[in-house]
Chain A
Amino acid sequence: MTAHRVDAGALELGAGLETLVRAALQNVPPGGELEVATASRAAAFELAGWARVAGHEHAGDTTEGHGSNATFVVLIKRGGHAAVLAPPLPRRARPPAGGELTLNGLRRVEPAPEHADPAEGLVPIGAVAEAGAPAYEWQLNDRDRIWAARIASLVERAARAQWTSDDIPWEAAVGLPEHVEAAVAQVMTYIAQNEYAALYVPARFLPQVNPRYAEVLQWLASHVHDEARHVEVFTKRALAGGARGYALASTELSLHSLLEEHDFSAAALLLNVLGEGTFLDLLRFVERHAPDAATAAAARLAHHDERRHVQFGIAHVRGRLERSSDEREALVAAAEARAAKLTSLSGLNPVVTDSLVLMAARSLRPGDLAEAGTAVRGLMQTMERNRVRRLAAAGFDRPTALHLSDLHTPNLM
């Protein structure tokens, strides 16, 4: 067998020699020999010990030339063990086309599998997993149970659409009349309280998702991050004018029942389609009727995020209904089970309703209050109408959509 050869200059161990030799040995078959030529006698001496520890054999030394021009040649016989306990990496392929690396582009390297091994490690898309890693016990291992059409584009949009509390003109939040500020503080507190639930629900599923479904992880992470920001800005707006609001027990009861939902698809229906869907109309109302620019901006920016969340929910539920004949029944049962826990709630808490009216009226004048009251009642009708429309978009027939909308929590989320 012809020996391979590498010129190591005067490199030493710890300063590049072992890296060069390891790279050169990759081209040598097990049992084959590599000549390492070095100008350093000390490097030649230390290479033998390194080779043995690295699982190779030191097969001899020779010297070429004399004196200061001498070259020391160390012969290393490659060991038979695999450096990494995995099949060889695939050959270099054509890079993903188009110059732009999209998530869908990555999936051309390796499609999302229909089912993933529950013991799967944290293996990025395209990576070759080494054997011998500790086993995990992921709970969500079936693609269709957590996927949504165009999830990659939702993830990418979420990443591009991030904003911060600095985007809100907080200076506009001061100086409102006492009763208007009190109403705004209560509405903002109510929204913030609900946003906590919208954070906890995706956060609970996040660590259950098999790492093979990177898009779902990224989606849930963006969802959690969005809601954390919503909690922040609505809390800030609640306190920005100096007033405080109640965290109402009726809201808590509703959210508690939402957090008790452990099925991914049922949670997508109850939170994304029904809860956040209904909040889209609420946020639009707050934006339109806010007495100050800070409140309006917070509602507008949060609305952008919630729209994405609703799109995910609709796409996910639609996919589930299309693929599984049992799913419709299971989702309806989940909505009914939750409604059964909320029988003590007969409507949106009057503290919230009154605050919406007072916020929208901006005064205690009867005319303004009447007009605002009409607007809030109109909001409730809009919510009902749009809920049914979203449920239809998610794939439910009209009678079922009407039934599900009726079952929805009076707390709105």
Chain B
Amino acid sequence: MKRRPSLASTLALAAVELAALGASAQQVVAVSQKKRAFEPREVEINLGDSLLFVNDDGELLHHVHSKDPRFPFDIGEQPAGTRVPVRFTARGTFEVRCEIHPRMLLEVRVR
């Protein structure tokens, strides 16, 4: 006789599948740094998504950071030609800037 799975094991399996689905649904959005400006200059992402900061600004060094106490981060000096991902784990609207070029501003809205 074929045994039916218990309700608990079915729910546990569903939870694992949902978690896997959630993980695979996380997006990575590239943000370029060109001519001493972010491109795009505004971006909207979901909680858990990542921004991939791409320094494709010739030979220039950049230094991306956020000083927002809700989600502070600092990727350090980033040489040209490199990419650094940052996963956003807090909701809200955040100002991201370059330490070297003060007019570089990126607004990140995390839903």
Do A and B truly interact? no
What is the interface of chain A, defined by CB distance below 8 A to chain B?
none
